[in-house]
Structure 1
Amino acid sequence: MEPIRVLRPDLVVVDWGPMTLSVRAWAGGKPRPVMAAKAAAHALQLLAQLADFQHYLKLDVLDLPRRGRRPAVVAAAAEACRQVALASGVRLTPLAAVAGAVAGQVAQAAWNLGADKVVVNNGGDLALRLALGRRLLVGLPLFPGGPLGHQLSLRGGDGVGGVATSGWPGRSFSPGVAEQVAVWGADGALADAAATVLAGACRVDSPRVTRVPARELDPNTDVPEFMVTTHVDALSDDEAAQALAGGEALARRLLLALPLVGAHFSVSGRKLVITRQAGGGLLARRV
């Protein structure tokens, strides 16, 4: 099977090894499959670069030198995680932002070819490029594959270049109990790293929560001793409120410190949305 397939004029898919990624590009209101396919080919180059830096990507980001020759995708992941680690106090490796960084690099490739609207989906992490006047509606599920819990109406110029999700049921390793945390902000890598730490902040210790060391799930993980949530029974109202409070507190810190626009939390059916307002303040709503 070819790694790159044009499924529709507005949908190109990359399926190769660990990568499953889609690229959609438009210009002048029309889908541009050639632009999308060329950007998709760049994704395969990024995959090869990441393979060469496997060891580097598993190191604590605060221990990494900020100078030195690195592929742009590696540098983007490391810098996003460095910013989030400093703002949150949570230790990270660049792997926490790799999916978002790849999506961002691919989206930029399509944009550089002349697209005025680009959507790249890398395993649920989105990178977006919207020219002024272009719009996009993004649905955020309550949990992976579940019904929508929130919708984002985005416009070119609103400061959103990425939307990323994390949570215990997905592919992420999380110590938290959130079914889903979504973050939207300036770029995909930053949103990816922020979603990771915010999902982990939605934490509660309860007999209803099962956790195991990450090494039991993946012997090659970069965080072998990290306790990962593998099952959550229905939480009590107090437990869900405690988990949401932890996520909200950290979200406020990150939204004030970094170019992030908003976050959406889903914990045992309870939802919270927190967004940056035009005047710079924050608005939190339980919905």
Structure 2
Amino acid sequence: MRKSGSGSSSTSFFSEDSDLWNNYSLMADNRLHLQHGPIDIIAHVDAPKEVRERLYSGAQKRFCTVLDELVAEMVLLKQPCSLSQPEPRGNIAKKMCFAVSDSGIFVTPMAAVAGAVADEILEAMLFEAKNPDPCLEEIQRMYVNNGGDIAFWLNAGESFSIGVVDNPGIPELNARVSLAYESPVRGIATSGWRGRSLSLGIADAVTVLAGSAATADVAATLIANEVNVDYPGIIKRPASEVKDDSDLGMLPVTVDVPALPAAQISEALKRGAQTAGNFIRSGKIAAAYLSLQKQTLVVENNLKEEPDE
């Protein structure tokens, strides 16, 4: 066993012939850490050790090619989908394009990249669990967390719980959601101007529950874009100035938001909630949790908007 960092160790089930071998590690709590370039994944399989290691091996093998596949199609993925464009070749690129295919507003497949990668790695583990010696009945649950965008699988009778954080800059748990096997939700994503990705809006965070992580990723991005209001002191800059080669080009993205009056916060959240409601009506998502400066708004699949007092 070779050490690869504090609190983690690389074990024998990893592929020794991979150039990326050192980017895989088994954490002290039996979670798998996969990292390559900007992709940073934590995965876990709740199952006996031999099953867990088998599925981790499948995840590792699939992960080896992910970044190269995305880079090969990056020109296509940074453009809005259109009928005149060639079809994407890779599975992840196909997931990304499908997730944005009927959005109706400006969005590129890159809005789905983190969620699509999470979905793909989860599928790789599911494939390993089904072939050639099926072991699904030995697994309670498993998940892939790609920088906060999560794809998960549940066996009958199991559930998956997540914590919701209103402000990524303040590591405080503000809400908890438990998702049962019967729920159609299998993907979770969060977006906002304080997160890793750029945002056109001013939401601290928008968390979305959907059938896949890729779908949740796109919806969270677009809902967060609509959490917006005109107010002095909100600073926006062209996306390409904030991040080199951004797929958003010269669109203005938020870089600073001052303390806002309650009325402006409420108005911005309501604008985002309208977009969330549209996604719910179309069947794309199950729920959205919007937060801005300690005010929250929950939009659920009954289209009831619930401000958090």
TM over 0.5: yes
CA contact (8 A) 2:73 2:88 kept: no
Of 142-151 and 53-62, more deviation after overlay is shown by 142-151
| CA offset digits 1:6-32 (Å, max 9, x no partner) | 113630001221211111112379971
Q: Cα RMSD (Å) of the superposition? A: 1.9
User: More deviation in 22-31 or 56-65?
Assistant: 22-31
Q: Does 1:149 align with 2:174?
A: yes
The structure with the largest alpha-carbon Rg is: 2
Partners of 1:14 and 1:42 in 2: CA distance: 11
**Which residue identity is paired with 1:121?**
N
CA spacing shift, 1:25–1:56, aligned 2, 3 Å: same
> More strand by proportion, 1 or 2?
1
Name the TM-score, length of structure 1 as normaliser: 0.91
- 2:147 is the alignment partner of 1:126: no
Q: Which residue pairs with 1:72 in the alignment?
A: 91
Corresponding residue for 2:241? Answer: 216
Which has the higher mean CA deviation after the structures are superposed, 190-199 or 267-276? 267-276
| Residue 113 of structure 1: how far off its partner (Å) | 2.2
Alignment size in residue pairs = 278
Q: Residues 270, 63 of structure 1: CA spacing in aligned structure 2 closer, same or farther, 3 A cutoff?
A: farther
State which of 258, 261, 268 in structure 2 corresponds to 1:236.
261
Q: What 5-or-longer segments of structure 2 have no aligned partner?
A: 5-21, 130-135
- Aligned counterparts of 1:220 and 1:26: Cα–Cα separation in 2: 39
Task: Compare relative contact order (CA 8 Å, sep 6+) and give the higher one, 1 or 2.
Answer: 1
Give how far 1:176 is off.
Answer: 0.8
Seen in structure 2, the aligned counterparts of structure 1 residues 31 and 208 have a Cα distance that, compared at 3 Å, is farther
Q: TM-score, normalised by structure 2?
A: 0.85
1:100-125 C-alpha deviation (Å, 9 max, x unpaired): 00000111111222254111111111
3-state SS of paired residue (2:249): coil
Q: Judging changes above 3 Å, is the alpha-carbon distance between structure 1 residues 69 and 189 closer, same or farther for their aligned structure 2 residues?
A: closer
SS at match of 2:304: strand
Contact 1:5 1:13 in 2 (8 A): yes
Query: Structure 1, residues 68-106: CA drift from partner, whole Å, max 9, x if none?
Result: 3511110100110113x13xxx21110000110000011
* Mapping 1:156-175, distance limit 5 Å: 156-175=181-200
Q: Structure 1: where are the runs of 5+ without partners?
A: none
Work out the percentage of aligned pairs sharing the same amino acid: 29
Which SS does the other structure have where 2:75 is aligned? helix
In structure 2, what residue type is equivalent to 1:92?
Answer: V
> By how many angstroms is 1:237 displaced?
0.7
The whole-number CA distance in structure 1 between the counterparts of 2:84 and 2:89 is 12
